[in-house]
Structure 1
Amino acid sequence: MSEILAALLLAHAVADFLLQPDWMVRRKREPWVLLAHAAVVLALSQLALGHVASPWVLGLAALHLAIDAVKTHLARPGLAAFLADQAAHLAVILGVALLAPDLWETGLWAALPERFAALPHYMLLAAGLILATRAGGVAVGLLMRAQAAEDPPARGLPKGGTTIGYLERGLIFILILSGQPEATGFLIAAKSILRFGAVSEDRAASEYVIIGTLASFGLAIATALAVQHLATGLPPLEIPGPTP
């Protein structure tokens, strides 16, 4: 089951956060845009599992389409809608893994030689990194939108804050999975020092930075811990040493 979760999580992460540009998100009310996104979900899920005509994969794509349609037409845009949408997608992925536990074993990739046994592990790591950085960025951005509207922060480099967020969440994800969670404290300290001069005299700016930082770090840590938990059900990731 863990292999199925790893494969479908990667397909979902790539479809929703790498291959869904802003124009597609804005035009989701157009049926052809919604169908195009569902087709991407279907193709990536088929590729990740090594199944072309599985009814479970077709059903997953159909449910993804339905969830997105409900969110687009009925939900009010914001953080709550985003979290509910993602929770629904993850619930569908978990449901498929539970109801069709042989999807991985009957797929193309299960027949690969033994040296490819860690493929699901790589899929899970890639999915976790995308979710920590890109999905985390969307969530933090939605959280901070209200604060920015009430008291806009000082302007910096174009997309500078977004890039910093990607980097810090990616570093936290890597540090935790490499067995160095205590190093995240140094990131918090470094960011606090670098931001001190800009926000020390501005209470609103200080609170804005603190809220954004804690949310960003918290999402990255939660994602890394979830990946660690799921990885316990996968073959160990073995990196061969140099050949003598």
Structure 2
Amino acid sequence: MSTSTTAKMIRSFLFFTDTPVMVREPYRGHRSRASSSHSDRMRRSIRWSTMTSSEIHSTAVTESMEACVALFLALLLGHLLGDFVFQPGRLVVAKRHGWKGMLLHTGIVVLMTAIALMSDIERLLPALVLAGLAHLGIEYLTIRARRMMEANGLALFLLDQALHIVSLAIIAALMGNGVHPALGPWPVDTATLAFVCGLLAVMFLGSILAFEVRVLALGAADPGSTGPILRLDADRMLGFAERGAAFVIGLLSPMPALGILAFAPRATYALTLRARDRARQMSDAAVGLIICAVVWLLVVFASSSRL
């Protein structure tokens, strides 16, 4: 390459002119230990295409944001698994009583997050540590708030989850460079990872949200010394199934509104009950429908948009 050509390339990059320059084609595959071999690096290094400097800048920004989204979704997956799927009611009570329960819960969240980041765990170890520390700090603050404030359970739950999600978003924004979407050790696309997170959210987070709304509106049958605790019973299992079905139908059906049909059995059953029990069932159905709609919108956006 001549000196004049090199000078034109440098000027084009620095001043964002439209002079075509030679750049490497962005590698969009999942990085693994095998792909870091010399032969793979050589194969990727010869993928060249002609792009203008403005296209280079736009592509770099897009890929950086997509990497941040990939890390955020992986961290969110670990959070959903540790904070909902693998947090039984007894552990909720234990963490509200002292540090042992809180540390055990945080350890489970860290373990689930480590599994979610398994594909690149060595490089993402700082993100894992930060996520664990942030989770522990937020748990401490919200549990103290529960003891000291007279806020209702719904407000504390929403505050707790908002703080967790914001903390994960900050970590992803700071440390997401070069991250590719993966489901544990398996490379996937962003849409698949978003779908898994969405399904867990509507099924498990949705059950807690429906419970807190019901307690706020209708009261709790057994408040207990640490606040009402949601038990894993047949009614909760039904909620898992109907919200999960509504979410999947909404994503796979050409008419997303058909997801409403998943709540038809509960609504029909509610009509046969007394007023208070009917209100309880209809409240759960309404909250389930709302959270399915909101999460559906977020997943569709994450799956179809190039950020």
**Is the TM-score greater than 0.5?**
yes
**How far apart in 2 are the matches of 1:69 and 1:13?**
18
Is the 1:15–1:44 Cα contact (8 Å) retained in structure 2?
A: yes
Aligned to 2:257: 182
Aligned to 2:113: 45
Is the 1:67–1:85 Cα contact (8 Å) retained in structure 2?
A: yes
RMSD: 2.8
Determine which of 149, 162, 166 is the counterpart of 2:219. 149
Shift of 1:117: 4.5
Most deviating of 175-184 and 43-52: 43-52
Determine which of 41, 44, 69 is the counterpart of 2:140. 69
Shift of 1:166: 1.2
**How far apart in 2 are the matches of 1:77 and 1:203?**
24
**How far apart in 2 are the matches of 1:67 and 1:163?**
28
Q: Note if 1:173 corresponds to 2:247.
A: yes
For 1:27, what is the secondary structure of its paired residue? helix
For 1:102, what is the secondary structure of its paired residue? coil
After TM superposition, list the pairs within 5 Å mapping 1:202-221 onto structure 2. 202-221=274-293
Q: Note if 1:6 corresponds to 2:73.
A: yes
Quickly say closer, same or farther: Cα 1:207–1:232, change in 2 above 3 A: same
**How far apart in 2 are the matches of 1:60 and 1:150?**
33
Aligned to 1:27: 94
Aligned to 1:56: 127
Aligned length: 220
Higher RCO, 1 vs 2 (CA within 8 Å, ≥6 residues apart): 1
Aligned to 2:156: 81
Is the 1:9–1:124 Cα contact (8 Å) retained in structure 2?
A: no
* TM-score, normalised by the number of residues in structure 1: 0.78
The amino acid that maps onto 1:207 is A
Where structure 2 has 5 or more consecutive residues not aligned to the other structure, the ranges are 1-67, 223-231
**How far apart in 1 are the matches of 2:178 and 2:100?**
29
Is the 2:206–2:291 Cα contact (8 Å) retained in structure 1?
A: yes
**How far apart in 2 are the matches of 1:37 and 1:56?**
18
The amino acid that maps onto 2:91 is M
Quickly say closer, same or farther: Cα 1:94–1:232, change in 2 above 3 A: farther
Q: Note if 1:139 corresponds to 2:209.
A: yes
Aligned to 1:238: none
Is the 1:128–1:227 Cα contact (8 Å) retained in structure 2?
A: yes
Shift of 1:77: 6.1
**How far apart in 2 are the matches of 1:170 and 1:77?**
27
**How far apart in 1 are the matches of 2:281 and 2:260?**
16
**How far apart in 2 are the matches of 1:33 and 1:39?**
10
**How far apart in 2 are the matches of 1:188 and 1:21?**
25
**How far apart in 2 are the matches of 1:150 and 1:79?**
13
Is the 1:68–1:85 Cα contact (8 Å) retained in structure 2?
A: yes
**How far apart in 1 are the matches of 2:276 and 2:104?**
42
The amino acid that maps onto 1:35 is L
Is the 1:11–1:48 Cα contact (8 Å) retained in structure 2?
A: yes
The amino acid that maps onto 1:22 is G
Q: Note if 1:130 corresponds to 2:200.
A: yes
**How far apart in 2 are the matches of 1:149 and 1:129?**
28
Most deviating of 72-81 and 172-181: 72-81
Aligned to 2:301: 229
Q: Note if 1:98 corresponds to 2:98.
A: no
Is the 1:7–1:124 Cα contact (8 Å) retained in structure 2?
A: no
The structure with the larger Rg is 2
Aligned to 1:242: none
Cα deviation 1:85-114 (Å, max 9, x = unaligned): 011111011111212221625x9x69x8xx
Quickly say closer, same or farther: Cα 1:185–1:125, change in 2 above 3 A: closer
Where structure 1 has 5 or more consecutive residues not aligned to the other structure, the ranges are 153-157, 235-244
Counting aligned pairs with the same residue, the percent is: 20
For 2:87, what is the secondary structure of its paired residue? coil
The amino acid that maps onto 1:10 is L
